[in-house]
């Protein structure tokens, strides 16, 4: 898929900015905005000792005595700066010959114990043993900061910090340098983008609840950091739920936290980019980014700071994991789709927290809850659905929408949506309700996540919600109660694809399958901040040492921790090799040994839901073959999708030329294969395409022979041919090339078709999903 010529698009953007400036001037003056400038750093005149001095000078800004008000100066994964300027001034600077690109700062959102065992990790065995639990690897976490006193970040019995580490522990109110240690080896914060974005307006950093320091007032960053690399913490639980030993995937890996997100106000691109820049300069080995898109629309890679920052990191050997977003099960909802990122969706684990709604007629309906207060007393309570007479706002239990006369002393049914799930409970409680049943809508399906509600409450799926509402409508005196059943282990089936997990296809470049894989992301127990209650709401005065959260934000750090273990066990592996090992060994079945299912439909999951499968670290340690990708391969991919040399430099940070013959995007040496055909009246037969791959033998035996086989369900209407069908590796030939030809052999309805290519040597199974889809031509 080709894009419009990017520098022309930039001219269009600048023209629109200028027009907006004219409109603002007509109404009394231009409001400043934050812009990020990508600059050709090689053009710096030698008279300036540093790039920062050049950017701030009159020579750069076009005259005038006032220097540019620089916020961040980037010099590692990205060269340039961010500044708060009037749009007209930004338009002038965009014409500077050394400015490669300009984009306006954008607000993004966070994609918000037993899981290591669920991934196949066991004490003193396998990958944990072989990697020494990741002790020589540093995991950088871009998030809301850290609660450093938490025992998950204890450095007891840890050896010295790796000598190559160049990071620092930045201080602030209540955050002395002594809070860092041999476990928490670095802590920084980035707020200049926020300060500039919210100046003179609402929002921004609330210093009554959050200090300008790396300290986490939100909880999200502490949770993700400890999921990736938290130490063993005995007697852990959230108010008795999920009791046991909490530990991260890489318990001895070092943690460096980069606070780029702030409580209640999100994450600004300019601060995120500064976090990437600093993390790589500090010497992290892995970066974990549980941050999604701000508006659900994928930006071209050259206008996406996460894509740009991660490219700079990966090109320097740093593995980057990112969350796939929480807008599923909608098709094409996956975010963070750049091919150098490892994009992680979410699945369930074999643990749940059941609660039952018992209706007055004796029917028992299953749900989930993490409520830990006093249970409901008595047998049954009046049951009411305010949406029946109070309209949409009341059905959603929005602020000030409930009539205390209607809901007082009753269990209230609230529809999910518009406001946080736990906030609805506050509304019910304030109106005098004694309990809440939170009913999924059609878009949420049967997917359930537990919440630490402030009153007795239970979440139920869409079908159960309809049953309860029908009961209320038909019963003369509807009643109900809620029964809480604690923690249940060994749940089947598991894993199941979480209904909220971002789904493919990749809306930006369909030739790259996203997400790459899924990992545990539902009801995950991990460390929590001491500054917020388990709901994260300001009105929640409760405090808990650990909390249970769900989201692709929770899945991402599982893969980050896994990457730390693999990097420690295989220090010579590239980020692409590490991703390949995880993808080609991913599991496709659940704990019933049946195909994994989709929570939202109950049907078998497809590669658009799970990518290559569910993370399986027991096999990823020894994948047999990997599909490696070098920086120049990513450049060839960008050339294939139509990027010109100037736009390439925006991403690559160096002058780059495309080959005379345009490469094919689907030939990127990716561990999955995605083939697209132009859509016609239907899925026409006899359309064919050939893709190329190179496999590298990383097994313990240099002499190895792998044979190909293709797996697909009946009726797919595909013919897949692999040439050659046998790969013979030797000590002198550890890399072998092959071709895969895919032909649509029968007409269909235009829907996607799926198959798998498997290379096997008798002991390794190297599996790649094959996706065939039809898209409308531009």
Determine the Cα–Cα distance for residues 349 and 120; give it in Å rounded to an integer. Answer: 12
Catalytic position from the list 226, 290, 553, 560: 553
Comparing CA positions, the residue from 631, 564, 560, 108 lying closest to residue 336 is: 108
Q: Which helix (H) or strand (E) holds 705?
A: strand 704-711
User: In the 3-class helix/strand/coil scheme, how is 175-223 assigned residue by residue?
Assistant: ECHHHCCCCEEEEEECCHHHHHHCCCCCCCCCCCCCCCCCECCCCHHHH
CA separation, residue 476 to residues 364, 404, 406, 434, 468 (Å)? 19, 21, 16, 20, 14
Rounded CA separation 420/208 (Å) = 23
How far apart CA 722 and CA 738 sit, in angstroms, is 7
Q: What is the distance of C-alpha 591 from the center of its chain? A: 25
CB–CB of 119/615 below 8 Å?
Answer: yes
Q: How far apart are CA 45 and CA 626, in angstroms?
A: 44
DSSP string, 450-476: ----SSSEEEE-HHHHHHHHHHHHH-S
Rounded to 5 degrees, what are φ and ψ at 675?
A: -115, 130
Pair 747, 682: CB distance under 8 Å: yes
Is-catalytic flag, 220? yes
> In this structure, are residues 671 and 517 in contact, taking their beta carbons and an 8 Å threshold?
no
User: Is there a contact between 197 and 267 (Cβ–Cβ < 8 Å)?
Assistant: no
What residues have CB less than 8 Å from 530, skipping those under 6 apart?
A: 147, 149, 150, 543
Short-list 688, 686, 745, 675, CA closest to 715: 745
| Class of residue 73 by CB neighbours under 10 A (exposed 0-12, middle 13-18, buried 19+) | buried
Q: Per DSSP, which regions of 353-406 are E strands?
A: 354-359, 364-368, 381-384
Alpha carbons 134 and 565: distance in angstroms, whole number:
5
Catalytic residue (choose from 40, 143, 218, 282): 143
C-alpha–C-alpha distance, residues 570 and 585, integer Å: 16
What is the C-alpha R_g of the chain?
27
Q: What is the DSSP letter of 655?
A: -
What does the alpha-carbon distance between residue 445 and residue 497 come to, in Å, rounded to a whole number? 12
Contact call for residues 348 and 556 (beta carbons, < 8 A): no
> Would you call 143 a catalytic residue per the annotation?
yes
Residues 519 and 347 sit within 8 Å (Cβ to Cβ): yes
553 belongs to the catalytic site: yes
- β-pair type (546-549, 524-527): antiparallel
- Which token pair is 208? 């009554």
Contact 546, 527 (CB under 8 A): yes
Active-site pick, 41, 72, 150, 220:
220
Query: E strand or H helix at 626, and its extent?
Result: strand 625-626
Residues assigned a catalytic role: 143, 220, 553
């Amino acid at each position: 898929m080709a894009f419009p010529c990017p520098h022309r698009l930039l001219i269009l953007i600048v023209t629109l900015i200028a027009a907006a400036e004219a409109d603002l001037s007509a109404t009394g003056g231009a409001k400043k905005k934050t812009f990020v400038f990508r600059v050709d750093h090689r053009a710096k005149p030698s008279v300036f000792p540093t790039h920062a001095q050049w950017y701030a000078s009159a020579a750069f800004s076009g005259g005038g005595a006032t220097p540019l008000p620089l916020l961040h100066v980037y010099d590692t994964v990205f060269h340039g700066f961010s500044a708060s300027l009037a749009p007209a001034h930004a338009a002038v600077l965009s014409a500077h010959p050394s400015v490669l690109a300009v984009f306006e700062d954008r607000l993004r959102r966070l994609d918000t114990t037993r899981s290591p065992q669920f991934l196949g990790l066991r004490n003193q065995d396998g990958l944990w043993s072989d990697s020494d639990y990741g002790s020589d690897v540093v995991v950088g976490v871009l998030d809301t900061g850290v609660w450093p006193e938490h025992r998950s970040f204890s450095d007891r019995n840890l050896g010295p910090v790796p000598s190559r580490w160049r990071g620092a522990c930045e201080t602030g109110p209540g955050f002395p340098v002594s809070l860092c240690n041999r476990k928490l080896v670095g802590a920084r914060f980035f707020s200049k983008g926020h300060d500039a974005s919210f100046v003179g307006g609402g929002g921004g950093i609330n210093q009554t609840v959050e200090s300008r320091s790396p300290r986490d007032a939100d909880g999200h960053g502490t949770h993700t950091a400890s999921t990736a690399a938290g130490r063993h913490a005995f007697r852990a639980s959230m108010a008795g739920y999920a009791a046991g030993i909490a530990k991260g995937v890489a318990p001895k890996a070092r943690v460096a936290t980069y606070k780029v997100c702030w409580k209640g106000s999100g994450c600004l691109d300019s601060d995120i980019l500064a976090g990437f820049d600093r993390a790589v300069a500090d010497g992290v080995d892995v970066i974990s980014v549980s941050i999604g898109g701000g508006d659900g629309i994928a930006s071209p890679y050259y206008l996406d700071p996460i894509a740009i920052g991660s490219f700079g990191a990966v090109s320097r050997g740093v593995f980057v994991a990112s969350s796939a977003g929480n807008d599923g099960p909608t098709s094409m909802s996956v975010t963070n789709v750049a091919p150098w990122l490892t994009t992680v969706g979410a699945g369930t684990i074999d643990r749940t927290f059941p609660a039952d709604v018992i209706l007055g007629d004796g029917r028992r309906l299953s749900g989930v809850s993490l409520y830990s207060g006093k249970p409901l007393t008595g047998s049954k309570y009046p049951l009411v659905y305010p949406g029946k007479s109070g309209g949409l706002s009341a059905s959603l239990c929005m602020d000030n929408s409930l009539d205390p006369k209607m809901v007082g002393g009753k269990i209230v049914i609230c529809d999910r949506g518009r406001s946080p799930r736990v906030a609805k409970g506050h509304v019910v409680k304030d109106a005098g309700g004694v309990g809440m049943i939170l009913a999924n809508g059609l878009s949420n399906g049967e997917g359930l996540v537990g919440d630490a509600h402030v009153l007795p409450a239970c979440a139920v799926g869409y079908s159960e919600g309809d049953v309860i509402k029908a009961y209320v409508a038909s019963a003369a005196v509807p009643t109900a109660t809620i029964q809480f059943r604690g923690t249940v282990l060994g749940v089947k089936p598991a894993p199941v694809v979480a209904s909220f997990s971002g789904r493919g296809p990749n809306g930006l470049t369909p030739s790259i399958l996203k997400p790459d894989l899924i990992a545990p992301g539902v009801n995950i127990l991990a460390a929590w901040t001491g500054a917020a209650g388990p709901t994260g709401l300001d009105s929640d005065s409760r405090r808990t040492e650990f909390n249970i959260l769900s989201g692709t934000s929770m899945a991402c750090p599982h893969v980050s921790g896994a990457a730390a273990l693999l990097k420690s066990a295989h220090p010579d592996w590239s980020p692409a090799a590490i991703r390949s090992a995880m993808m080609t060994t991913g599991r496709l079945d659940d704990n019933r040994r049946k195909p994994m299912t989709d929570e939202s439909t109950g049907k078998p999951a497809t590669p658009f839901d799970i990518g290559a499968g569910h993370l399986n670290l027991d096999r990823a340690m020894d994948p047999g073959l990997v599909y490696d990708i070098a920086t120049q391969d990513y450049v060839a991919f960008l050339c294939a999708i139509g990027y010109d040399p100037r736009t390439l430099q925006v991403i690559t940070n160096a002058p780059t030329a495309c080959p005379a013959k345009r490469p094919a995007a689907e030939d990127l040496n990716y561990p999955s294969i995605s083939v697209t055909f132009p859509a016609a009246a239907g899925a026409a037969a006899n359309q064919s395409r050939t893709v190329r791959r190179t496999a590298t033998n990383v097994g313990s035996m240099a002499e190895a022979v792998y044979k190909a086989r293709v797996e697909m369900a009946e009726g797919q209407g595909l013919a897949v041919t692999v040439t050659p069908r046998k790969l013979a590796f030797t000590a002198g030939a550890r890399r072998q090339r092959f071709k895969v030809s895919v032909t649509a052999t029968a007409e269909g309805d235009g829907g996607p078709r799926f198959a798998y290519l498997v290379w096997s040597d008798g002991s390794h199974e190297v599996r790649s999903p094959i996706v065939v889809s039809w898209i409308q031509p531009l």
